[in-house]
Amino acid sequence: MVRALMGLPTPLPEGSFQHLHWKVSVDVATRRLHATATYTVLQTPSSTDEGCLALAVEGLSIESVAVNDDATEFKVIEMSPTNDQLHSTLAIAVPKQVVAPYRYVHLFLDEHDVYPGSVSSVAVTYHLAKPSLACHWLDSSWLITQSYPSYAPSLLPVPPQLCMKFTYTAQVTTSALATVLMSASLTGIIQIILHCRSIVE
């Protein structure tokens, strides 16, 4: 699968990302985040031998990637001004056997087409141990995160296309002396604001 990771992957079409489950552990004492972002993907790209999936990342230390619970190869392609990248790219090798026909529904046309793809789970485990555009540690053990489109890749791996919309759930674990607040709509389009505040100040 190494060949699939040599260049920038082709972006997936709108609607491919269905859901995100973000599981994060916030260590207030060391100011470190350890997380797993698990996406439900409706389509995976394919080639003759293998496919490749792209996620935007910035400053994240990627530990492992799994597709349908099986470990897979990955490569971080650093941002380059020569290819108009706003962020680095996490290229994920997708085994050919996970690609199967599925039914794709046009949003504005009363018709159904079959495209190559499948419902797959893609889980990225990583940690973040330094401040970033989206993650700010303040005095008295405050952590504030902001997920503007251009900031989000420095908090968690995200689709590189701004048109992607999907639901999400989150599980946050932190110190018993901390309070966790999240701001989100009931429909859950990705926009996460997380505050962790130590009770003892």
Number of domains in the chain: 1
pLDDT at 105 over 50: no
pLDDT tens digits, one per residue of 15-62: 889 999 999 999 988 889 999 999 999 865 554 345 788 899 999 999
With contact defined as beta carbons under 8 Å apart, do 173 and 25 qualify?
Answer: yes
pLDDT above 70 covers what percent of the chain?
Answer: 66
Look up residue 158 and give its DSSP letter. Answer: B
Of 189 and 149, more confident:
149
| Amino acid (one-letter) located at 167 | T
Domain hosting residue 110, numbered range: 2-198
Positive/negative CA dihedral, 138, 193, 160, 100:
positive
Model confidence at 104, in pLDDT bands (50, 70, 90)? very low
Of 84 and 189, more confident:
84
pLDDT at 165 over 90: no
Q: pTM for the complete prediction?
A: 0.76
Backbone angles phi, psi at 153, to 5 degrees: -65, -15
Pairing status of strand 100-105 against strand 112-117: antiparallel
Model confidence at 110, in pLDDT bands (50, 70, 90)? very low
Residue 200: exposed, middle, or buried by beta-carbon count in 10 A (0-12, 13-18, 19+)?
exposed
pLDDT at 75: 92
**DSSP letter string over 50-77?**
EEEEEEEESS-EEEEEEETTEE--EEEE
CATH of the domain at 122: 2.60.40.1730
Q: Which tokens in the block code for residue 56? A: 């935007």
pLDDT tens digits, one per residue of 73-101: 999 988 765 555 678 999 998 876 665 44
- Rg (the chain; Cα; Å): 18
Backbone angles phi, psi at 142, to 5 degrees: -85, 135
pLDDT at 117 over 80: no
